[in-house]
Amino acid sequence: MSGDRVESLELSGARAELSGASGAGGAGAELPAGARAGRAWLGAARARGRATGIAAERGAALADSWRALWSSRAWVFGAGVATVLLAGFGPTRGAFDAAGITRGFGSLGDVLAAPAVRWDSAWYLVIAHYGYHPELGSFSAGRAAFFPLYPMAIGALARVGVPAPLGGVLISLAALWAALYGIHRLVTLELRSASREGGERREVARLAVLLCAFAPMALFLSAVYSESLYLALSVGLFWCAREGRWGMAGLV
């Protein structure tokens, strides 16, 4: 029998005892001291059960999201590096990176960076390093298509000595982990509302996390792209709204 079921039976029994004590005394009678103590115990037990359950759900979400993160990223980076080694960088590499900002890491470094620093990564790295500079007109007009939070975070890490490409990857990985954790918690919350058992809740939440981490589009969630940050903020918004924390939802 699961822990959720045992706790439910214990609380049901306590409620029945308190109901009997209250009914025996009449509608207007004061509860006896024993019944009052039992009610206090019931409240404390319910609070302890909620706290224990939430702590267990948090631990499960951290563990499942971490496993999904490292296993999926190992697959993505391995497949990306293997593709570059077999097929090369392609003839249009310079067209997406005229300034050469996504290359120049050495022969081995270029291969290792290939799955993460490609195409639009050049825009984020340029913005992180030089800013938007709208006064340059058509020369910098394309930068306006990219929101500032992600390149600002890359620039902040670069100012403390972290190379910009590495900083972008680290930010993407951290945001992806946060997003996977939030998805796990949000799914668990929805299934708890549907009165599903704890084991079933975790299995469904784990599946949702794995589907997100291994989906084809997840290739970009560890690259120097803002998609993982956007996903993390979007999941956080829905999670806060689902729990009624509207101020935090508005902030996100």
pLDDT at 65 over 60: yes
Q: Answer yes or no: pTM beyond 0.85.
A: no
Cα separation, 162 vs 66, in Å, equals: 23
pLDDT band at residue 245, thresholds of 50, 70 and 90?
confident
Cα separation, 208 vs 214, in Å, equals: 10
pLDDT single digits (tens) 159-206: 998 888 888 999 999 999 999 999 999 998 888 766 666 567 788 999
Q: Which residue has the tokens 């590499």?
A: 93
Average pLDDT score, the chain: 75
**CA torsion sign, 246 to 248 to 251 to 252?**
negative
pLDDT single digits (tens) 37-58: 656 555 555 555 555 667 777 8
Q: Which residue has the higher pLDDT, 252 or 102?
A: 252
pLDDT band at residue 14, thresholds of 50, 70 and 90?
very low
**CA torsion sign, 123 to 127 to 130 to 135?**
positive
Cα separation, 205 vs 202, in Å, equals: 5
